[in-house]
A = this chain, B = another copy of it.
């Protein structure tokens, strides 16, 4: 059985609100409000095993999943949450070896997910106009070990781009309608663009831009609402509070 060692990535799970993704280093300590854990004490354990914090709380050692990173990456921007990221990725139909463009990368959370699904033989061209965002995205990608699948680029995707024949484009920009012409050119024919925007006005402008351009077809606008449930025998119900809004997803396919 695989034994955790220095350099490995592990999700330390104490409870619903306390999960930490850490890369094991000699002498390092994970501090939490439920006590601390020495990295040295994790080494030699296996995924799935547990350990106790200095205050005696049980902490499980788990293999990091994509959704764990939302709690551990450092954020410089709003991230695209799993419910939306997952649907965008699914609709794009990317997979091992895909070459995709993403803009703006922001904190790099979607980038991590894209890098996971394109794999070692794929590539994510991650654009942002903000140097600080790129730097944070680089750090977050490095921590997750996926930086080698990503080419981070400082630049404005609303302007002419050098890429061609990409499998999909993912946009999280304030004005995606201004990037339609440039991203059209980098896409393989018939391949999709996935656009994430938080307001309905941006949806309207984007979709009208896409329709007027005549460059895209099969245009759809999606919004996902996610409810979580609490199960107790004989007393099962949805959680009292939920996230009521993150953003809208606009989808289209390039035609020629």
Taking Cβ atoms with an 8 Å cutoff, the residues of A that contact B are: 1, 13, 19, 46-50, 60-67, 82-83, 85-87, 89-93, 95-97, 113, 116-122, 188-192, 198-201, 203-204, 207-208, 217-218, 220-231, 233-246, 248, 253-256
B119 touches A93 (CB 8 A): no
Given A50-B255, A203-B231, A208-B233, 5 new contacts (CB under 8 A): A47-B189, A63-B190, A64-B93, A83-B224, A200-B229
Number of copies: 4
CB distance from A186 to the nearest CB of B (A): 14
A96 touches B121 (CB 8 A): yes
B231 touches A204 (CB 8 A): yes
Q: Note all chain B residues with C-beta closer than 8 A to A95.
A: 96, 116-117, 119
Q: A96-B119, A113-B90, A208-B233 are contacts. A255–B60 as well, Cβ < 8 Å?
A: yes
Residue contacts A-B, CB under 8 angstroms, 15 given: A46-B189, A47-B191, A60-B190, A62-B190, A62-B218, A63-B190, A63-B191, A65-B92, A66-B90, A67-B90, A96-B122, A222-B226, A240-B243, A240-B244, A241-B244
A236 touches B46 (CB 8 A): no
Q: A190-B47, A231-B208 are contacts. A60–B236 as well, Cβ < 8 Å?
A: no
Chain B residue at minimal CB-CB distance from A174: B235
CB distance from A72 to the nearest CB of B (A): 14
Q: Note all chain B residues with C-beta closer than 8 A to A118.
A: 96
Q: Note all chain B residues with C-beta closer than 8 A to A237.
A: 198-200, 245
Chain B residue at minimal CB-CB distance from A192: B65
A50 to B256, CA, bound (A): 8
B240 touches A245 (CB 8 A): yes
Chain B residue at minimal CB-CB distance from A50: B255
B253 touches A62 (CB 8 A): yes
Report which residue of A90, A191, A208, A227 has the largest number of chain B beta carbons within 10 angstroms of its beta carbon: A90
Q: Which listed residue (B63, B200, B240) contacts A236, Cβ 8 A? A: B200
Q: A241-B241, A244-B241 are contacts. A1–B189 as well, Cβ < 8 Å?
A: yes
Chain B residue at minimal CB-CB distance from A248: B229
A248 to B118, CA, bound (A): 28
Q: Which listed residue (B61, B93, B200, B217) contacts A66, Cβ 8 A? A: B93
A234 touches B62 (CB 8 A): no
Q: Which listed residue (B93, B228, B243, B255) contacts A220, Cβ 8 A? A: B228
